[in-house]
């Protein structure tokens, strides 16, 4: 469904732009994730849906792709490059990528394939009427985090203290800004949330888990972040079968 929505939105924006009168439309893809089977899979589905709507790479469509799984400041560099290429639409896959694209342009339409709370992170002022040049899909994770805490309580009934692991460089994606909602959900289940543990790079993971142990945490809630996804993928790639 995500690929269908994106293809329809992008097709409409292309047709509404000057690209409709030119030889090729130009669509940019800006990603904060390393290429994995999942991310490549939905991107392939997206391009297939574009073909169904009459836009095919190599025929009447050029796709400019930038994947930047490293420091988030490099996303701004990549977004600026895409703007300079005068693309017709920018598709992003996360809150950091959407923010970088929005910082680079207020003229080119931006379609989010996925993001955290766009209002809470300041990407838009209103979900029903976002205004500006940004639209797309988002996950409001407050209720999801409550469900995750509920599942943890079922799996470990004696859990009393919970550490929250978040990416401080990607507020909104990690939802550290929504910590109050997590604390409320935990309190209802008799769980105390200890101070959040911030991770800014892969080098911080060892310290982060050591901090959780020092705080006598019985469990850890790991929030969503491109950094965490890239780290998990890196571990999968480097691990060998037993």
Q: Output the average pLDDT for the chain.
A: 80
Fold exhibited by the domain 142-238:
Rossmann fold (3.40.50)
Cα distances from 129 to residues 103, 126, 157, in angstroms, run 20, 5, 43
Mean pLDDT over residues 188-199, rounded? 84
**What's the pLDDT band for 87 if we cut at 50, 70, 90?**
very high
Mean pLDDT over residues 88-107, rounded? 92
Mean pLDDT over residues 18-38, rounded? 75
Domain locations along the chain: 2-136, 142-238
Nearest residue to 47 (alpha-carbon basis) of 4, 93, 96, 98: 4
pLDDT at 235 over 50: no
**What's the pLDDT band for 234 if we cut at 50, 70, 90?**
very low
* Per-residue model confidence (pLDDT) at position 226: 63
Mean pLDDT over residues 208-219, rounded? 88
Mean pLDDT over residues 126-151, rounded? 80
The string of pLDDT tens digits covering residues 66-75 is 998 767 788 9
Are the C-beta atoms of 199 and 132 separated by less than 8 Å?
Answer: no
Are the C-beta atoms of 175 and 144 separated by less than 8 Å?
Answer: no
Q: Which residue has the higher pLDDT, 14 or 155?
A: 155
* Per-residue model confidence (pLDDT) at position 113: 86
* Per-residue model confidence (pLDDT) at position 232: 45
Helix (H) / strand (E) element for 196: namely none
Q: Which residue has the higher pLDDT, 235 or 154?
A: 154
pLDDT at 169 over 60: yes
Q: Which residue has the higher pLDDT, 135 or 69?
A: 135
Percent of the chain with pLDDT over 70: 80
- Superfamily covering domain 2-136: Response regulator (3.40.50.2300)
Q: How far apart are CA 153 and CA 146, in angstroms?
A: 11
The string of pLDDT tens digits covering residues 48-60 is 888 888 888 888 9
């Amino acid at each position: 469904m995500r690929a269908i929505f994106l293809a329809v939105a992008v097709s409409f924006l292309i047709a509404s732009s000057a690209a409709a009168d030119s030889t090729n439309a130009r669509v940019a893809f800006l990603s904060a994730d390393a290429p994995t089977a999942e991310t490549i899979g939905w991107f392939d589905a997206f391009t297939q849906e574009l073909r169904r709507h009459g836009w095919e790479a190599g025929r009447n469509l050029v796709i400019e792709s930038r994947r930047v799984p490293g420091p988030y400041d490099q996303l701004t560099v990549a977004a600026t490059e895409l703007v300079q290429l005068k693309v017709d639409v920018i598709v992003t896959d996360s809150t950091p990528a959407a923010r970088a694209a929005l910082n680079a342009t207020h003229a080119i339409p931006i379609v989010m394939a996925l993001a955290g709370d766009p209002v809470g992170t300041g990407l838009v002022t209103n979900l029903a009427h976002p205004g500006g040049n940004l639209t797309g899909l988002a996950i409001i994770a407050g209720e999801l985090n409550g469900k995750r805490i509920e599942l943890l309580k079922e799996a470990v009934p004696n859990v009393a203290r919970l550490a929250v692991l978040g990416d401080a460089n990607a507020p909104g994606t990690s939802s550290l800004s929504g910590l109050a909602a997590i604390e409320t959900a935990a309190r209802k289940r008799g769980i105390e949330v200890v101070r959040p543990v911030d991770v800014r790079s892969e080098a911080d993971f060892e310290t982060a888990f050591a901090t959780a142990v020092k705080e006598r945490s019985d469990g850890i809630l790991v929030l969503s972040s491109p950094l965490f996804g890239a780290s998990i993928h890196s571990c999968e790639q480097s691990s060998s079968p037993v």
